[in-house]
Amino acid sequence: MAREIVLDTETTGFDPKTGDRLIEVGCIEIQDLLPTGRTFHRFVNPERLIPPDAIRVHGITDEKVKDAPKFAEIADDLIEFIGDAQMIAHNAAFDRNFIDFEYARCGRPITGEARWIDTLKLAQTRFPGMPNSLDALCKRYKVSLVERTLHGALIDARLLAEVYLELRGGKERVLDLSSAPVGRGPGGVIETAAYGQRPRPLAPRSTPEEQAAHVAFLAKALKDRSLWEAYGLPAQEDAA
């Protein structure tokens, strides 16, 4: 797997082509389907008034963003944070349209559809005919909505990250009990990485005298039938 960015935006309306602008962007970084803890969050001055209907959705007022930077002032920071990662959004076309409009407006390259993963489409494939809004998916996956009273880019990105991990089976990967992580190397060859030594080795639970008595027992009772002997390991490791 690779680095991915879960992204959400808040805007003044529905369509940048009719004059609506982005007013908030929030991003959560995921690496190999696990959150890294890195985030990106900015409020943006939309250079226009925010309609009352939009304020009722996200609670962001003109007063709140009047001193915020314009998008052109945060564009490079956002581009740097996203890097070459794929972007994940719910109803991704909406967020992509605003991000690409703002990028183009300040002379930055647009992202393009191929770089986006739409969790709405993933959910519709998994749960056809069922409600698949972000709220509905949070309830279905028992993701708590207690902290959200209004929509917000960063909190919605956090909720979406949890939903995305559920959709992709990311949480189950934390419980993987296999002996070593598996990945694909050059040419698609599956490689298994061995775990390193324990950073803080456990102290022996037996005394030198007990270890010596155990070795003597193995030599007398089992001779060459010791399990450790079969694997070419020293008999002392039997007692470690």
Q: What's the confidence (pLDDT) of residue 206?
A: 79
CA distance 96 to 8: 10
Q: What is the pLDDT of residues 36-71, one digit of tens each?
A: 999 999 999 999 999 999 999 999 999 999 999 999
Which has more pLDDT, 161 or 179? 161
8 annotated as belonging to a binding site for a ligand: yes
C-alpha torsion sign, points 147, 27, 46, 138: negative
Q: pLDDT category, 212, cuts 50, 70, 90?
A: confident
pLDDT of 184 above 50: no
SS3 148: coil
113 annotated as belonging to a binding site for a ligand: no
Neighbours of 144 (CB within 10 A): 10
- By annotation, the residues acting in catalysis are 151
Average model confidence (pLDDT) for the chain? Answer: 84
Q: What is the pLDDT of residues 67-114, one digit of tens each?
A: 999 999 999 999 999 999 999 999 999 999 999 999 999 999 999 999
Strands, sheet with 22-31, edge to edge from the N-terminal-most edge strand: 34-43, 22-31, 3-11, 86-89, 116-118
pLDDT of 219 above 90: no
Full set of structural domains in the chain with CATH: 3-168 (3.30.420.10)
pLDDT of 222 above 80: no
